[in-house]
A and B are shown apart, each in its own frame.
Chain A
Amino acid sequence: MPTGTPDTERVETLTLEAFADTILPGAKRTPDDPSIAGRSHDAGSVEAGALELLRTPATGLASGLPEFVDMLNGHAERYAGEHGLEDGRDLPPFVRLSFEDRTALVRALTSPGHPEKEFWVMLALFCNMAFDSAAHMSTPTALAEGHPGLTAMGFAAPDTDGLLRFKEYSYGRATARLHPDTTDSGSLA
C-alpha cells in the first residue's frame, strides 16, 4: 500500500494512539473508540496531545513514525500469534490487543536487552511528555486552555507575564538539628 493514503494515515493514527494510551491511559472519547482502551476516567496521553508532539519535527521522531508503526504492528501480530489471540476487527494488530496485552508487549519492547529498546523508550518518553509537560505547546497557553496533564498534576499557572512566582514558599522554621560537624561555610568539616 502506498504511504500517505487515508488508510495508512488511519493505521498510523490508531496505532500511535493505542501506544500512547498504554503509557498514560485515558477515557474513551466515544463509546466505540478503538485506540483508547478506556482504563481511566479522564483524559490521558492521547487527549493531552501525544500525536501532535510525536509529529513535531523538533522531536526527531516525525519522519520515522511510519516505520515505528509497521514495527509495532509486526510485534503485535507475532504476540497475538504466540498467545493464540484472535480478533476479526478491521483494526491494526496493536490496536486489536487488549489493554493488558498492549501493556505486556510495551513492557517487553522497553525491557533491558530488547534490541529495539531505545526506539520504544523514546516513543514512550514523548508520550509521557505530552501529558506531563505538554512539550508541543507553550506552557502558559497549555495551562490557560486547561491542558489535561498539567491540570491533573496541579502545575501552577504563571503570572500574566508568563513567569511563575511563589510568594509563600517556606514553613519558616527549623525542622531538624544540624549535623554536628557543620562549619561556618555551611558544609561539613
Chain B
Amino acid sequence: MTTTEKTDILVVGSGFGGAITAYHLAAGGADVTVLERGPWLETEELEHDFLLGSSYTRAFDFTVGDGMSVLGGNCVGGGSMVYFAALPRAPRFVFERRGSVGRRMWPSAIDRDTLDPWYDRAAEALGVRTQDWSDVSYAGGLWGAACNHSGRTANPVPVAIDKDACVNCNWMMAGCRFEAKKSLVFNYLPAAVAHGARIRPLHEVQRLERLDDGGYRVHYNTIDDSDYRVTTGSGAIDAKIVVLGAGAGATPVILKRSEERLGAMPHAVGRYFSGNGERLNTAVINEDRVRDVLGLSRDAERAYEAFQVGKGPCVANWDRLDASLPEYSRYSLEQLYFPPALGTILAQTPGVPGPSWFGADKKEMLRRWKSWLIIFIMSEDDNEGVFGPPPPTGNAVRLSQQMLGRGPLSYRPTANTWHGWKSADAEIKEILEKDGIAEVAPWTNDLVGAYTVHPLASCRIGDDPHTSALDDRHELRGHPGIFVTDGSSVPGALTVNPAMTIAALAERSVPGIVEAARARGVDVTYGAPAPDGATSGRGGVLDLAGRRSS
C-alpha cells in the first residue's frame, strides 16, 4: 500500500492569491504546501533576451482562446514576476456595478470602505508607493502632456518599484533583474518559506478529489523544466483545506476537470470571465509636434523617441472613472510599454484601410518604433467569457515548448463591451491626434480575439448562488474547505490594474480560511504582521477579522 503525502493546507499557484494566503497560514502555524506549475527563476536567471527558452518565455503563458487570449505568469511569483507593478485601488463605483445580472455584482459585505483596510495591508506588504513626476518615464510624461493639452488630467500610477534600484530598462515582463520590482518573491513568498511553507515549482495541479474524512486529494503532474509540453511524473497530496490561486485562466479549468470525483460545480465556475475590459491602441508620435505643440524635449536632437525607456505604465488618465457616468462608459486610459512581438504584432497601421497588422506599411510603422506610444484601455466588459470542456492536462493544449497554448475560453464581446471600447478608442484618437501630435489605431481583434493581461471573474465571489461560484468568504459553494483567492474571485472588470484588488481580497480571505482550517483540526491562528514585520496594516484589520470570525 502506498502512502499519500499529507499537508494541512494545499495552495495551488504562487501568484497573489497563493502567496498571500500561504504566508499568513504558514505564519499562523499551519503546515502549508504550495504547488506552482511554472519554474522557480532566480534573479541571476532573469535575462534581457527574446530568445525562445530565456526567462522571457519561461515565465509567461500566452493562451489563445476563441475570441479572447490571456497573457499570464507561469512561474513562482505568478503574475507578480511578469507584471508591471502598477497597483491602484479600484474606484468606489466599481463595487456598485450591476453588470448584466441586474443586481449588485459584489457581495454586500464588500465596498471600497470595507476593502480599504485590506488594501492598506497589501500596500504595506508589497511596498506600494506613489510616483512623482520625476519618476515618470518619457512616455508617461508625453501621455500626461497630451492629456493636459486637451484639457484632461493625468496621474502617475502607484507602483511597487524601488525607484533607486530601477534602471528603467522596461524588461520587467521577463522578471526584474535588478530586484527593483517588489515581486512576491521578495515579500510574501520568502516569509512563507521562513515559516515552513514548501513551494514546489513545475508541479501542475490537474484535479481535486474528495476524501471520506472531508479533506481533499490534489492530483498533480510534474512538468519538464524547458519543454512544458512534457510531463515527467505525477503524484497526489492530501490536504484538509485547498486554496486555489491558479489564476482566472486556470482555476475554473481545474475545478471543471474535478467534477467527476468532486461532484457538480456551482453554475458560475468557468462562467462570467472578464478580460477587465482591456484593449490597446498604438500611436505613432510626430516628434516635431511633441516639441512644437507640447513643448517637450529630451535634448537638442530628440523630443521623444523613447518608447523603450521606462517601467511599464507610469501615467494614466482617469477622467472617465466618474461614478455619475453610466456603466460601460467608464474606463482608464493608461500609457503602457509592451515589448516587441507581444506588443507589435496586433498593432495596426494608422490610416491604412483594411487589415494592416502585416505588410509593407506595417514594416514602415515598425521603423518608427522608438516613436510609438501604447495606450491601454481598462473598461467595463460584460463578463461574457465562458470556459468549454477542459483540455487533457493543464489549462491549455500547449503548442510551443513554452508560452504559447490553445485554451478552452470563448468570449463574444457584447454591445456593452464594444460601447466602452469604441468610446475609449475615440477618446484616445481625440487626445493624441489633436494638433497632429500622433496617428493612432487600435489593435486588431481579428487574430487572437481580444487580449487581456488581467483575467478575472471566472470563479467569482458574490451573494447570488446562481451568478457567483464563491460566497463572500471565498469558499466554493457546495464544497466546504475549498477556497479560491486569485483573480478569478474578483466579480468583474475594475477599470484599473487589478493586482492591488486581488491582493486585498486575498488578504481579506485569510481569517475565513483560518476559521475553516481550525474547524478541521488545524492548529492555526490569524494575526501575522506584514512579511517584513511591519504591523500598521495588521492594526487596521484585526478588529474586522475578529468580528468576522465571531
Contacts and interface: CB of A to CB of B under 8 A. Distances in A.
Given A153-B340, A169-B309, A179 B447 contact: no
B420 interface: no
Contacts of B54: 138
B148 interface: yes
Interface string B502-523: 0000000000000000000000
A59 B296 CA distance: 42
B48 A162 contact: yes
A125 interface: yes
A61 B359 CA distance: 22
B209 to A, nearest CB: 32
Contact of B362 (A24, A110, A121, A156): A24
B51 A121 contact: no
Contacts of A189: 91-92
Interface in B398-452: 398-402, 404, 406, 446-448
A138 B168 CA distance: 21
Contacts of B344: 128, 132-133
B52 A39 contact: no
A160 interface: no
B177 interface: yes
A170 B145 contact: no
A94 interface: no
Interface stretch (B151-159, B381-389, B538-546): B151-159
A156 B339 CA distance: 12
Interface residues of A, number: 69
Among A57, A137, A153, A170: residue with most chain B CB under 10 A:
A170
A23 interface: yes
B529 to A, nearest CB: 20
B358 A133 contact: no
Interface in B304-320: 305-306, 308-310, 315, 318-319
Contacts of A152: 363, 366-367
Interface in B342-382: 344-345, 354-355, 358-360, 362-363, 366-367, 369-370
Given A112-B446, A170-B137, A176-B154, A136 B130 contact: no
A112 B354 CA distance: 13
A176 B145 contact: yes
Contact of B51 (A39, A137, A149, A150): A137
Contact of B141 (A39, A149, A175, A179): A175
Contact of A185 (B52, B89, B359): B89
Interface in A38-93: 39-40, 44, 56-61
A170 B308 contact: no
Interface string A158-189: 10001111101111111111111010111111
Contact of A44 (B142, B171, B363, B496): B363
Nearest to A150: B340
Nearest to A26: B363
Nearest to B88: A187
A97 interface: no
Interface string B309-338: 110000100110100000000000000000
Contact of A176 (B92, B144, B406): B144
Contacts, number: 227
B98 interface: no
B308 A155 contact: yes
B428 to A, nearest CB: 15
Interface size class, chain B = 35 or more
Secondary structure at the B interface, as helix, strand, loop or mixed, is loop
Among A58, A103, A149: residue with most chain B CB under 10 A:
A58
Contacts of A13: none
A129 interface: yes
Contacts of A173: 133-134, 141
B141 A170 contact: yes
A124 interface: yes
Contacts of B309: 156, 166, 168-169
A154 B358 CA distance: 19
A148 to B, nearest CB: 11
A128 B157 CA distance: 32
B284 to A, nearest CB: 12
A16 interface: no
B49 interface: yes
B169 interface: yes
Nearest to B168: A169
A152 B362 CA distance: 13
A86 to B, nearest CB: 25
Nearest to B46: A163
A175 B402 contact: no
A93 B50 CA distance: 34
A163 B48 contact: yes
A122 interface: yes
Contacts of B167: 163-166
B128 to A, nearest CB: 8
A36 interface: no
A188 B116 CA distance: 12
Contacts of B179: none
16 contacts: A58-B401, A103-B359, A124-B358, A138-B51, A139-B49, A152-B366, A153-B370, A164-B170, A166-B169, A168-B309, A169-B168, A176-B148, A178-B155, A186-B128, A186-B130, A186-B157
Given A58-B52, A176-B315, 7 more contacts: A24-B359, A59-B400, A107-B354, A107-B355, A169-B309, A185-B119, A187-B91
Interface of B: 47-54, 57, 64, 88-89, 91-92, 119, 123, 128-131, 133-138, 141-142, 144-145, 147-148, 152-158, 167-171, 177, 229, 294, 296, 298, 305-306, 308-310, 315, 318-319, 321, 339-341, 344-345, 354-355, 358-360, 362-363, 366-367, 369-370, 398-402, 404, 406, 446-448, 496, 500
Top 10 nearest A-B pairs (CB, nearest first) are A186-B158, A186-B130, A176-B154, A175-B144, A176-B144, A175-B145, A153-B369, A169-B168, A176-B148, A187-B89
Interface of A: 22-25, 39-40, 44, 56-61, 103, 106-107, 110-112, 118, 121-122, 124-125, 128-129, 131-140, 149-150, 152-156, 158, 162-166, 168-180, 182, 184-189
